[in-house]
Chain A
Amino acid sequence: MARKILLEHLNVPGIETLEVFRKMGGYQAVEKVLKTMSPDDVTEEVKKSGLRGRGGAGFPAGMKWSFIDKKSEKPRYLVCNADESEPGTFKDRYLMEKIPHSLIEGMIVSSYALGAKTSYIYIRGEYFYVLRILEKAIAEAYEAGFLGKNILGTDYSLDLHVQIGAGAYICGEETALLESLEGKRGNPRMKPPFPAISGLYASPTVVNNVETIAAVPHIVNMTGDEYAKIGVGRSTGTKLISASGHINKPGVYEIEMGLPVEEFIYSDEYCGGIKNGKRLKALIAGGSSVPILPEHLITKTANGDARLMTYESLSDGGFVSGTMLGSGGFIVMDETTCIVRNTWTLARFYHHESCGQCSPCREGTGWMEKVLHRIENGHGKMSDVDLLVDIAKKIEGNTICPLGDAAAWPIASAIRHFREEFEYHVKYPEKVKDPKHFFYAPFVSEKMNASIA
Chain B
Amino acid sequence: MSKEIKFSDETLEVVAKIILRYPEGRQKSALLPVLHIAQAEFDGWLSSEVMDYVASILNIKPIEVYEVASFYSMYNLKPVGKCLLEVCRTGPCMLNGAEDLVAHFENKLNIKDGETTADGMFTLKTVECLGSCGTAPMLQCGADYYENLDNQKADALLDKLRDENQRSRYC
Contact = CB atoms under 8 A, between A and B. Distances in A.
Interface string B22-34: 0100101111110
Given A128-B171, A182-B29, A331-B95, A166 B133 contact: no
B128 A87 contact: yes
Given A90-B134, A251-B134, A329-B133, A182 B28 contact: yes
A245 interface: yes
Interface of B: 21, 23, 26, 28-33, 35-36, 58, 60, 64, 67-68, 71-75, 89-92, 94-96, 99, 127-136, 140, 143-145, 170-171
B74 A84 contact: no
Contacts, number: 152
Closest 3 CB pairs of A and B: A166-B72, A167-B73, A183-B31
B133 to A, nearest CB: 4
Contacts of A252: 134
A86 B74 CA distance: 17
Contacts of A399: none
A165 B160 CA distance: 28
If over half of A's interface residues share one DSSP class (helix, strand or loop), that class is named, otherwise mixed; here it is mixed
B90 A288 contact: yes
16 contacts: A86-B129, A87-B128, A87-B129, A90-B134, A125-B72, A161-B21, A163-B29, A166-B73, A180-B32, A183-B64, A186-B72, A242-B134, A244-B133, A250-B134, A341-B94, A342-B91
B144 A342 contact: no
Contacts of B71: 168, 185-186, 355
A183 B94 contact: no
B95 A353 contact: no
A349 interface: yes
A353 B128 contact: yes
Contacts of B36: 125, 128, 164, 166
A124 interface: yes
A250 B135 CA distance: 7
Given A90-B134, A251-B134, A166 B75 contact: yes
Interface residues of A, number: 59
A5 to B, nearest CB: 21
B33 to A, nearest CB: 5
Contacts of B75: 166-167
A376 to B, nearest CB: 12
B101 to A, nearest CB: 14
Interface of A: 75, 84-90, 92-93, 118, 120, 124-129, 132, 159, 161, 163-169, 180-186, 201, 242-246, 250-252, 284, 288, 329, 331, 333, 337, 341-342, 345-346, 349, 352-353, 355, 435
Nearest to B68: A185
B131 A183 contact: no
A75 B24 CA distance: 13
A161 B33 CA distance: 12
A333 B95 contact: yes
Given A92-B131, A250-B134, 10 more contacts: A89-B129, A125-B36, A129-B143, A164-B36, A165-B32, A167-B74, A185-B68, A244-B133, A352-B128, A355-B71
Nearest to A250: B134
A235 to B, nearest CB: 23
B131 A89 contact: yes
Contacts of B171: 128, 164
Contacts of A245: 92, 95-96, 133
B96 A349 contact: no
A163 to B, nearest CB: 7
Contacts of B21: 120, 159, 161, 163
